[in-house]
Every structure is written in C-alpha cells, then in structure tokens.
Amino acid sequence: MEPIIEFKDVSKEFEGNVVLKDLNISVKKGEIFVLVGPSGSGKTTSLKMINGLVEPTDGNLYFKNKRIKDYNIQKLRWQIGYVLQQIALFPTMSVKENIEVIPEMLGWGKEQRNKRVDELLQEVDMDPEQFRDRMPSELSGGQQQRIGIIRALASEPDIVLMDEPFSALDPISRASLQDLVLELHQKLGNTIIFVTHNMKEAMKIGSRIAVMHEGKLIQCDTPEEIQKNPANQFVEEFFDETTDEVYTQTLETLYNGGFYQSAETADAALPSLSMDTSLSEVFDLLIKHDAFIIVRDSKKIGLIDRSDVFRFLSQEG
Amino acid sequence: MNELMNTFTERKDDLLTAIFEHLAISLSALLIAVVIAIPLAILLSQRKKLAEIVLQITSILQTIPSLALLGLLIPFVGIGTVPALIALVVYALLPIFQNTYIGLSEIDPSIEEAADAFGMSRMRKLMRVELPMAMPVIISGVRTALVLIIGTATLAALIGAGGLGTFILLGIDRNDPSLTLIGAISSALLAIIFSTLIRFLQNRSGKVTLITLAVIFLSIGGIFFAQNNPIGTETVTIAGKLGSEPDILINMYKEVIKDEDSSINVELKPNFGKTSFLFSAVKNDQIDIYPEFTGTVLESLVKVPKSTPEDLSPEKTYQEANKLLDSQFDMRLLKPMDYENTYALAMKKSEAEKRGITKISQLQAQQDQLKAGFTLEFIDRQDGYRGIQDKYGVKLGSVQSMEPALRYQAINTGEVDVIDAYSTDSEIKQYELMTLEDDQHLFPPYQGAPLMKKEFAEEHPKVVKALNRLAGKITEEQMIEMNYQVNVKKEQPAKVAHDFLVKEKIIGEEN
C-alpha cells in the first residue's frame, strides 16, 4: 500500500532542546496508525507537523509524495481532520455550526451541509432533531467529543489526526468512543493517525503502533508483533505501566471496596457477571445497561450501577 | 415639587433639544471610541508588550480631570463640540480597549489551535471564533464607557457644546435648583436607559445587537447633522455669556435681524460660556457675534498701549476698544447701548448704614472685620479686587471665591458682608442691596455692544444695520427690570426681549 504520510529524517528543536531526533515514519493509506509514548516523547509534536501547526527544524514531511511546506497550508488543512484532547468545540456555535466549519470554507451549499450534518449525527447515534441546534455547553463530555470527531470527518478528509482524544473522558465514554472510532474507520476507510500515552488504547485501536521515547522512534510494528517481541526493556515496561490501570482490575476490587448495593430487589432481567470480570468489560456493559448483578458461587451477592462505578473511579483518581 | 413640574413644563422644548444634543455627542463619542479601541485591541492582542504600554497610556489619560482636559484642548481645537468629543473619546478608550484586549487574550488556546488546524484564515478566525467569544466582555466595556460618557458629557456645556449640562449650569447661574435637578435627573436617566438597552441587547444575537446600535447611531447622527447643517441657507450664529442679561440681549439681536430680513437664518447659543471662550469662538469662526462690554475688551481681550490714559470717558473707552480690536484682531464692536454695566461692590443696605459706609475708600477702616464673596474672575482682575488692593489699599479680612449666583445667596444669609456685583443685576433690587461709590474711579466704563469680525461686518451690512437699531437704547433701569423679569419672575428671555422691542417700537408689532 502506498504511503500517504512520510516523515523523512525529521528533527525538531525548541529553544535548544531536542524534542524530535531523525524521525522516519511512513503511514499507509487506510490504516489506523498510533503514536504511543510517555509525555515528552515527541508524539504530539510529530502529529502537529502533519497539519503544519509545528514546523520541523530539519528534514521533511510528505503528504501524497509532496512536501507539506509546498502546499497552501490553509487548503491542506481542509483535507486533514483534527480531534483535540481538549475537544475545543467553538462555544459560541451550535452543534450544527461546529460540524460545518470546514464544509462552509470549502463552499458547500446550504442543503448539502444540512444533509451532511444530519447524516453524521445519526452516525454517532445522536438524534439530529434533538442535538442539531444545541450549544456545546449543553452536552456531556462524551457527547462533545462525538461532535469533535464528526467535525473532523465532515469534509470527508483523506486523513484524520487525533491527539489523545479520549484522555480527558471518563472510562465509560472512553471505551465507547474507541469502539466508535473503529466502527467509523471500518465504514469510511480513511487514514487515522492517533496519539495516546496509553498502550492499552494503542493495542485496541491501532493497525500499526509506533512506540516513541524521548524524541526517538523505538519500535514500529503491528500490535501483535510489539506485544510478542518488544524491541527493548522500555517497550516492555511501558506495557506493564499502562496496563496497570483500572481497566485491568476486576470486579472483585469494586466489590471489596464496598462499591455495590443490595441485590434483593434487583430486576431479574439484568445481566449477571462473575467476580473475575475485568473492569473494561464492566464499562462496556454499562454503556448498554443501567446496572448488573454480581454472582459468586451462583449466588446473587450484589448489584452495581453506574453511580457505584463513578464513586469507585472518583476515589481511584 | 410643584416648581419642578412648572419648570419642566415651561422648558420641555429646551429639554428635548438638550437631551438630543447630549445623546448625539455621547453616542458619537462612543462610536468613535469603539472604532478606535476595538481594532487597536485586536491588533495588539498578539503583541503583549505593546498592549501593556497602550493600557498604561489609556489609564493615565483616564486620570486627567475632565475639566482640565477640556481646558487643555481649547488652545488646540477651540471650543464647542470638537474638544468635548475628543475629551469624551479619551475617557471611553480605556474601558473599551481593556475589555476587548482581555476578552481576546482569555480565549482558551486549544480553541485557537482548533481554528488554525481547520484552516481558518486570520480574518475568519477573528470574526467567527474570537470576537463572538470575547463579545460579552467587550459589550460590558462599552456599557461602562457609555455610562461614563453620558455623565461626563454634562461638562460639555462649559465649553459651549450644549447638552444637559446647560440646564445644570443655568440652574446654578440663576439660582434655580429645579433647572439643575432636571438636567441631572435627565442625564442619570439617559445613562440608566442606555445601559439597560445594551444589557438587553447583550442577550440577543450579535446581529440584532449590531443592527439596533447602528440604527440608533445613524438616526441620531442623521437628525443631528440635518439640524445643524441646513443646506443652502446661511446661518448667523450668535452666542452669549452665562446669565440672563446676555440671554435677553442675543434674543433682541435675533429679533432685530429677523425684522430687517426674515430670510437670514439666526442660531442662538445662550449660556455659551465665559468671556475667553466666546472671544476665541469668534476668532475661530465658531460663532459670528456675541455681546461684549467695552471695558472688558480693554481689560481682558486686547493689549492696551502704555500711552493710553487710565480714566477714559465711556465714549473714549468705546473708541479705544474698537481701535485696538481692529488693529490686533481684525474685529469690531458696533455702537454700544445706553446703559453701563460696570463692576460694583455691594453691601446690604442695613449693614452699610450700620457701619456708615457709602464709598469704597471707607472700607479700609473696617477691613479686618469684613468678609467678602467675590467671583473668581473679579478676584483676579486688575479692574477687580487686585485694583481695589492697589488703588484703595483695601485688604479685606477674608475673601472667598464664589459662583456669580451663589454670592447673592451668601450676602443674603449674612455669610459675607461685601460682594462684587454688576450694576444691572436684578438681585440688587431683590435683596435690598446698595452699591458702593467708586470714588477713585477704578472700574472702567462698561457699555454693551455686539462684537464680530470686521470681515463678517463687511459681508453682512443688513445684520450690522439691524443691530445698530439698538445703539443708544436700553437704560440701566430698563435692563435691571428685564433681568428681574427673567431671574425672579421666571419669564422667558425671548419673551422679555420681544416685549421690550415692541414697546420701544424698535421692531414692528406683527413680529
């Protein structure tokens, strides 16, 4: 597959500090390419070079085999979607106006824009009638980032950049938005470049993963290969560090911490889970169900709903 | 309260005009300040250091007392609307600039990044993202500025720019609290109404706000300029100093000119300001004519050669004044009226009799026990208190400076024993005062006559001819009586002037 983005010997210095050193990366068309690493590894700097928010000190970036600096930067940016960690919806614009920011600059007609807005809202399970004219402040964090994602997709861009898009969200919204990104990618087949500091997230989302550390690329491969053959101790440890998060804990932690209610009056139709269920599965389940029942030795020993999980998470944090 | 209502009813038309002038000047100043401050703040929002400097400068401008600022502007731009506008704009700059700058610089950097990353141009980012976000802060700055301007604009009356301040000044001058109250209340109401209007608009969409403001500005601005520039017809502008007498006189000027040629457009600017304002207004062609006194010309306006003898007769004073005006300023005084309005020192009749004082020279013996209330102008003039000290050797126990109208109050209540007065003041009759004889002839003769540029006189023979109808007319008793009608009986100056001219057959009855 031909490369859509290429970094060739790219370096970047900020006030004498080297933040990127001789980076060589090639992103293939249609893949989800994840840049993962701890803070200060240079992953966000690399991402922002693609849409020209940061310029390299040395080396060149290529978009479709043409140097980025040879493009009209404004027009290039219309072809590159961008999703920010801070979400950054324009607070004085309605949901609809936010989504059509780029289509408007591209000169789409009113009807075409309206149709596109409704289509995208439906794509992320938000009723257009209900949400179209709301203001960002009237939405939850998860809903806001859904709008953030479809705003980036509105003009059907060739590539979409996502800069730690879910790290400010609660684990439940995060899990569901990760699924959403995978689903949309399946459907649209565009190229996504995704930055995260969370290896678990990288493993779940990435077609290929680039592990970065202190401005250098350490390893670039498929998730399976990286897990099987970590290039060095850093990669190995990075796995352990980021997998040691709430995601990998089990229901037992919640139960032992007292974050549950009595199961006596519980609705029999609710799903049941065993004590060794991982919390990431728990979060996934809570997207669709309000609550579930904990079962040990085929006895119902408690009921957990979303508020219990939030209480637990807020204490963890 | 009743008096307030009566004054209000009587002055309804004047009040409307004043409110209109007040709004026109306030809103124009606001508009200019907005046009300067907002773009400047936008330009400087990316340059922090420069913005800080501008903020400092605007803060310093803010601390200049408004009265001082008006005074400082006169040598450069003269008097009237222009300096008032400049002063108001200067005051409005800080709140608008500061709020715009803060509003723009407090925008979340990630929002700025998003706008850049979506390929917005600088202009689009400004119009679609930054300004809408900063708008509430900007609008509140504009509101602060507006309230400030409407309040400060009352001072504009001091330099002849009109507005509600004329009511306040006139109220002080005529010792009529109703007028002052009406001016103050109207100005406060305007501030409240417009501040509320802006707050109301703040919660509407940006478009509604902009359109409403534009309509208000354009309609007021349009009517204002339409009123002030009657196209094609020439206007003779006549102004008068503060007080009833100049007000009556300029109304007479208008009537005689209209009687001579009704096609001449005459605009009156009563209570325009003090002597120096009026004189520089003629010099700068802001007004055409104002009534001046021969003595004042010699004392304060022209440079008098050393060779000129001191004790001039009224006739000689007029000739000398006219000659010096001609050679130094290319101006002329038309022929004076009959009465003399000279400076005088006045005491209560009862007090003067008790102390046995009838002449100024007799003051010296009891000078330490006497308290004086003089106008600021009188204290500082050679033919005023300075001359009294030099020529008579009189140094009074205490001398307080007072507004002209207040000193009559002070002598009536016994706060002071001696005041300066004009010989035609109605209050001499009203408060049973007597004037002291100027036994060493300190006060020069003061005869009233229209002052104008020579060029104007040559170009307007009909106006000169009309004004000369008043030459040698109006005795001192008649003037005191007319002042009494206006100040005490609260008659309109225009009516008093008209009735006198008709009675004396100076103009025809049908006018």
Mind listing the pLDDT tens digit for each residue in A113-123?
999 999 999 99
Contact A74 B108 (CB under 8 A): no
Pick from A14-18, A130-134, A284-288: least confident: A284-288
Chain-centre distance of CA B2, in angstroms? 28
One-letter identity of residue B406: L
Helix, strand and coil content of chain B, in percent to the nearest 5, comes to 65, 10, 25
Dist CA B244 CA B200 (whole Å): 43
Would you say A249 and A275 are in contact if contact means Cβ atoms under 8 Å apart?
no
Count Cα neighbours of B375 within 13 Å in the Cβ-side half-sphere.
19
Which one of B106, B113, B118, B120 makes the best mutation probe of the A interface by having the most chain A beta carbons within 10 Å?
B118
**The two structure tokens encoding residue B245:** 């007498």
From B117, B119, B133, residue closest to A91, measured CB to CB? B133
Which one of A97, A101, A167 makes the best mutation probe of the B interface by having the most chain B beta carbons within 10 Å?
A101
User: Tokens 């003769």 sit at which residue?
Assistant: B445
Dist CA B278 CA B282 (whole Å): 6
Q: At what angle do helices B131-152 and B206-228 cross, to 10 degrees?
A: 30
Residues with Cβ within 8 Å of residue B37, at least 6 apart in sequence:
B92, B93, B96, B97, B100
- Residue A1 predicted with pLDDT over 80: no
One-letter identity of residue B175: N
Which one of A51, A90, A99, A167 makes the best mutation probe of the B interface by having the most chain B beta carbons within 10 Å?
A90
From B116, B119, B129, residue closest to A90, measured CB to CB? B129
Residue of B nearest to A152 (CA): B118
**Per residue in B356-365, is it b (16+ CB within 10 Å) or e — as a string?**
ebeebbbbee
Residues A200-224, mean pLDDT to the nearest whole number: 93
Model pLDDT, residue B107:
93
Would you place residue A196 in the very low, low, confident or very high pLDDT band (cuts 50, 70, 90)? Answer: very high
The H-or-E segment that residue A19 falls in is: strand A17-28
Residue of B nearest to A101 (CA): B118
The DSSP string of A40-56 is TSSHHHHHHHHTTSS--
pLDDT tens for each residue of chain B, 511 residues long: 677 788 788 777 778 888 888 988 898 899 999 999 999 999 998 888 898 998 898 888 888 888 888 878 877 877 778 888 999 999 899 999 999 999 999 999 999 999 999 999 999 999 999 999 998 899 899 999 999 999 999 888 877 777 898 888 878 776 778 888 999 999 999 999 988 888 887 777 667 777 887 787 777 767 666 655 444 456 888 998 888 889 999 999 998 998 888 888 888 888 887 788 888 888 888 889 999 998 888 888 888 887 777 677 888 888 888 899 999 999 989 999 988 888 889 999 998 899 888 889 898 888 888 899 998 888 888 878 888 888 888 888 888 888 777 888 889 888 899 999 888 888 888 888 888 888 888 887 788 999 999 988 888 888 899 899 888 888 888 888 898 888 888 888 899 999 999 988 888 765 4
Residues A235-243, mean pLDDT to the nearest whole number: 75
Would you say B152 and B66 are in contact if contact means Cβ atoms under 8 Å apart?
yes
Dist CA B438 CA A316 (whole Å): 98
Measure in Å the smallest separation between the Cα of A93 and chain B Cα atoms: 8
List CB contacts (< 8 A) between B115 and chain A. 90
From A74, A88, A93, residue closest to B113, measured CB to CB? A88
Work out whether the CA dihedral B260, B505, B288, B11 comes out positive or negative: negative
Model pLDDT, residue A147:
96
Would strands B371-374 and B398-401 be described as parallel, antiparallel, or unpaired? parallel
- β-strand partners of A272: A293
pTM for this entry = 0.67
From B108, B111, B117, residue closest to A82, measured CB to CB? B117
Would you say A6 and A25 are in contact if contact means Cβ atoms under 8 Å apart?
yes
Nearest to A18 by CA among A51, A50, A47, A45: A45
Dist CA A62 CA A81 (whole Å): 17
Contact A101 B108 (CB under 8 A): no
Using a 10 angstrom Cβ sphere, with 0-12 exposed, 13-18 middle and 19 or more buried, the burial of residue B26 is buried
Work out whether the CA dihedral A191, A197, A199, A200 comes out positive or negative: negative
- Within 10 Å of residue B276's Cβ, how many Cβ atoms? 13
Dist CA A309 CA A147 (whole Å): 25
User: When comparing pLDDT for A130 and B382, which is higher?
Assistant: A130
Using a 10 angstrom Cβ sphere, with 0-12 exposed, 13-18 middle and 19 or more buried, the burial of residue B219 is exposed
List CB contacts (< 8 A) between B110 and chain A. 84-86, 88
List CB contacts (< 8 A) between A55 and chain B. none
Q: At what angle do helices A171-188 and A141-153 cross, to 10 degrees?
A: 20
List CB contacts (< 8 A) between A90 and chain B. 111, 114-115, 128-129, 133
From B110, B128, B132, residue closest to A88, measured CB to CB? B110
Would strands A208-213 and B433-435 be described as parallel, antiparallel, or unpaired? unpaired
**The two structure tokens encoding residue B79:** 């008097």
List CB contacts (< 8 A) between A150 and chain B. none
Chain-centre distance of CA A137, in angstroms? 21
Residues B428-459 pLDDT 10s: 888 888 888 888 888 877 889 999 999 888 88
Work out whether the CA dihedral B196, B199, B204, B209 comes out positive or negative: positive
Nearest to B23 by CA among B13, B12, B15: B15
Measure in Å the smallest separation between the Cα of A283 and chain B Cα atoms: 29
List CB contacts (< 8 A) between B133 and chain A. 90-92
Contact B115 A78 (CB under 8 A): no
Dist CA B42 CA A75 (whole Å): 25
- Within 10 Å of residue A9's Cβ, how many Cβ atoms? 12
**The two structure tokens encoding residue A230:** 């970590």
Dist CA B433 CA B346 (whole Å): 6
Would you say A259 and A311 are in contact if contact means Cβ atoms under 8 Å apart?
yes
**The two structure tokens encoding residue A57:** 């000190």
**The two structure tokens encoding residue B418:** 């001696």
List CB contacts (< 8 A) between A84 and chain B. 110, 113-114, 117
- Within 10 Å of residue A211's Cβ, how many Cβ atoms? 26
Would you say B69 and B75 are in contact if contact means Cβ atoms under 8 Å apart?
no
Contact A101 B120 (CB under 8 A): yes
Contact A84 B110 (CB under 8 A): yes
Contact B129 A75 (CB under 8 A): no
Kindly indicate whether the ipTM for this predicted assembly is greater than 0.95, answering yes or no: no
Measure in Å the smallest separation between the Cα of A46 and chain B Cα atoms: 14
Counted across chains A and B, CB pairs separated by less than 8 A come out at 55
Dist CA B299 CA B261 (whole Å): 35
**The two structure tokens encoding residue A199:** 């290896």
List CB contacts (< 8 A) between B124 and chain A. 105
List CB contacts (< 8 A) between B135 and chain A. 92
**The two structure tokens encoding residue B361:** 């020279």
